[in-house]
């Protein structure tokens, strides 16, 4: 399945960026500027330390298109949203946003759009999110988008070798 390379959302865009050193540097700059903010709940931030490592991850992200986009505001990378897992019934979405772009409704609108793509273009029946138990900002986005708490996954994720509880949220196509 092919997905659009560019989606205009008004004050932000969802874009598939070319895996090149220039874009890797732009992404690394955003991560470096937000390292303390993002690393509270996202261990992958620790692996983005050089242009080469960042480029490798961009290439890996786009080797198979499972509907993943960089969020851009005023032409600058602000975050990322996309499906990290898809099967014939279910898809799981992951997302992050740089701190200065939070509290503007960007992620809520991006998640609603991804959810719509999942249900109406991909044909999924269930979309889920797995969030760190303390990540109240991401939880608020999920709830604004109509996702429901399924439960707590005890010691589900290791964050820097420390077991963390995660919250599983889901939305069903029939919830709409």
- pLDDT tens per residue across span 119-171: 999 999 999 999 999 999 999 999 999 999 999 999 999 999 999 999 999 99
Range of the domain at 88: 6-126
30 within domain boundaries: yes
Instruction: Please give the model's pTM, rounded to 2 decimal places.
Output: 0.94
Q: For residues 170 and 150, is the Cβ–Cβ distance under 8 A?
A: yes
Tokens of 91: 């898809």
Residue 135 vs residues 12, 84, 94: alpha-carbon distances, Å: 23, 19, 13
Give how many domains the chain has, as a whole number.
1
147 within domain boundaries: no
> What CATH number is given to the structural domain containing 75?
3.40.630.30
37, containing H or E segment: helix 35-39
pLDDT one-digit tens code per residue, 33-92: 999 999 999 999 999 999 999 998 888 777 777 788 999 999 999 999 999 889 989 999
40 within domain boundaries: yes
DSSP-assigned states of every residue in 36-65: HHHHTT-GGGGG--SHHHHHHHHHHHHHS-
138 within domain boundaries: no
106 within domain boundaries: yes
Could you tell me which residues are beta bridge partners of residue 172? Answer: 126
170 within domain boundaries: no
132 within domain boundaries: no
CA 107 remoteness from chain centre: 9
């Amino acid at each position: 399945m092919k997905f659009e390379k560019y989606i205009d959302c008004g004050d932000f865009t969802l874009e598939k960026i070319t895996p090149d050193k220039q874009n890797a540097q732009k992404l690394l700059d955003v991560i470096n500027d937000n390292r303390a903010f993002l690393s509270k709940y996202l261990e992958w931030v620790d692996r983005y330390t050089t242009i080469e490592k960042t480029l490798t991850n961009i290439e890996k992200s786009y080797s198979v298109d499972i509907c993943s986009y960089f969020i851009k505001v005023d032409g600058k990378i602000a975050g990322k949203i996309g499906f990290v897992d898809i099967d014939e019934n279910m898809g799981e979405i992951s997302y992050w946003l740089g701190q200065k772009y939070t509290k503007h409704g960007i992620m809520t609108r991006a998640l609603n759009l991804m959810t719509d793509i999942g249900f109406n273009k991909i044909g999924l029946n269930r979309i889920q999110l797995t969030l760190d138990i303390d990540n109240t900002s991401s939880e608020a986005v999920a709830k604004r988008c109509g996702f429901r708490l399924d439960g707590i996954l005890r010691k589900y994720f290791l964050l820097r070798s420390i077991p963390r509880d995660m919250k599983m949220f889901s939305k069903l196509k029939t919830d709409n």
